[in-house]
Amino acid sequence: MKYEIKGGNLPYVELTLENGEGIKCQNGAMSWKTPNMQMKTSGGGLGKIFSKAITGEAMFHNEYSAVGGQGLIAFSSSFPGNIMAVEVTPGKEIVCQKSAFLAATSGVEIGIFFHKKLGAGFFGGEGFIMQKLSGTGLAFLEIDGSAETKVLGPGEQLIVDTGYLAMMDSTCSMDITAVGGIKNSLLGGEGFFNTVVTGPGKIVLQSMPASKLASLISIPSSN
């Protein structure tokens, strides 16, 4: 399988699959394809359907396979930003925001990541539950806005404002920290809590979370 990410700030990924190769995606993610890319819709067992429901993922996903020769298929991002290709291997699982998954090869499993500390889940900006990608294969993830990658050493920390953490290695951990001071919390515009990410591992930050853009659009114009 070969792929190319195109489109600038309105990205899409175009994949060329050899005969018999397959790719799975979120419902409705396909943008265009050659006629020999055959689709099969599946949802897995009850456990997988339940996990999809509580992570915000679509109940069913589509699997496309190249039949009778080489095939081409493209998936477009649902939000201005970036598409990242990440390798998933045993021991190198990826934790990402609930809306990040776009597509993946068949060996990648999508599950639930529970925060070990309840506080990090309820106040950390991405909710109690995030998605965890495991298994073996290649996954394509949506990043809101521009992406910034940081590599944290053991015990190294970074404080992140709500919603700006797009993904991290599963070796990283999350917690929350109070902004501090009633005046800072109420008038500083940063809310009451920030997320603290602790290494070791790689994290990816995003410059324009969809939730922030939505709140800006909903603010009435002063004109």
Model-level pTM? 0.80
- 3-class DSSP state for residue 52? helix
pLDDT reported for residue 28? 83
The string of pLDDT tens digits covering residues 166-182 is 999 999 998 888 765 44
CA angle 193, 196, 197 (to 5 degrees): 150
The string of pLDDT tens digits covering residues 22-75 is 999 988 889 999 999 999 987 655 455 555 555 555 556 899 999 999 999 999
In angstroms, how far is CA 148 from the centroid of its own chain? 14
Q: What are phi and psi of 218, to 5 degrees?
A: -80, -10
Report the alpha-carbon distance of residue 188 to residue 182 in Å, rounded: 9
Domains of the chain in start order, with CATH, are 2-212 (3.60.160.10)
> Which residues are within 8 A (CB) of 206 and not within 5 positions of it... i.e. 6 or more apart?
81, 143, 144, 145, 146, 147, 148, 163, 164, 165, 166
Q: Which two tokens stand for residue 50?
A: 């339940």
Report the alpha-carbon distance of residue 97 to residue 123 in Å, rounded: 14
> Bridge partners of 24?
63, 104
pLDDT reported for residue 111? 87
Report the alpha-carbon distance of residue 56 to residue 71 in Å, rounded: 30
Lowest mean pLDDT among 13-17, 32-36, 208-212: 208-212
